[in-house]
Amino acid sequence: LRDRLPVRVVDSRSVTMGLGMMVLAAARAAEAGGGVDEVAAAADDLVPRTRVYGTLDTLENLKKGGRIGAAQALLGSLLSVKPVIEVRDGAVEPGPKQRTRARALAWLADKVAADSPAGDVAVISGEAPDVETLCELLTRHLPRERLVIADLGAVIGTHAGPRTIGVAYQVA
C-alpha cells in the first residue's frame, strides 16, 4: 500500500491545540497544492516552535490518576495552589505554581506576550468559566482576531480535570 499511497509520519510532540494548529498548517499546505513532502514539512516546521501551557483548577484529578501523591494534593489544596503545566518535547512538565487562579491566568497571558507568537493563539478550555477573562488578558498583547477558542479533549481533560484552561501557539 505504501507504494500506492505516500505516507509521512510527523511526531507533533504536542497535545490538544498544539497538535491541532499543526494539522491546520498541513491542511493549508495541501489546499495550496503542496505534495505529501510539503504538507509534512509544514507540520514538521512547527514541532519545535509549538508551545502549550495550561493551569489546573485543582490537583485532585492528578492524584486520582496517580500522577501525584495524596499528601502533595492535600498541601496544594490547602495553599490554593494553581499549578501551571507545560508540554515540552512530548512530555508534560510542571511549571510555576501560582497561588491564585487570577495569577495563573495572568502568568499564561504574560508568557504568550513574552514569547511573541507568530500566528494565532488557541485558548483551550475544559469547561472553564473564565475563558473570557483569559481572552481579555491576552487581547492586551494581541488582537482578538488572533484568538481561537477550543474545547479541551476528553483524554487530557480526564487527567487535568474540569476548569482546566490553557494556551497553544507557535513562536517565530
- Rounded to an integer, the average pLDDT of 96-103 is 89
pLDDT at position 104 over 80? yes
Average pLDDT over residues 2-26: 91
Angle of CA points 95, 97, 133, to nearest 5°: 95
Which pLDDT value is given to residue 158?
Answer: 73
Using CA atoms, how far apart are residues 121 and 149, in angstroms rounded to an integer? 9
pLDDT of residue 78: 46
Give the model confidence (pLDDT) of 111-135 as tens digits: 999 999 999 999 999 999 999 999 9
Does residue 144 surpass a pLDDT of 70? yes
Residue % of the chain over a pLDDT of 90: 64
Which of the two residues, 52 and 154, has the higher pLDDT score? 52
Plot region of 44 (φ>0 → left; ψ -120 to 50 → alpha; else → beta): alpha
State the chain's mean pLDDT as an integer.
87
Q: What is the mean pLDDT of residues 99-121?
A: 95
Distance of CA 138 to the CA centre of its chain: 15
Residue located via cell numbers 504574560: 110
Whole-number CA gyration radius for the chain: 17
pLDDT band per the 50, 70, 90 thresholds, residue 92: confident
pTM score, whole prediction: 0.87
Higher pLDDT, 33 or 3: 33
pLDDT at 82 > cutoff 90: no
Instruction: Return the percent helix, strand and coil in the chain, to nearest 5.
Output: 45, 25, 30
Residue 133's closest CA among 154, 149, 156? 149
Q: In what order do the strands lie in the sheet with 50-55?
A: 91-98, 82-88, 50-55, 164-170, 121-126, 147-151
Please state the length of the chain.
Answer: 172
Higher pLDDT pick, 11 / 84: 11
Where residue 99 falls among pLDDT bands split at 50, 70, 90? confident
Distances in Å between the alpha carbon of 47 and those of 6, 88, 161?
21, 10, 26
Spatial contact of 96 and 85, defined as CB atoms under 8 Å apart: no
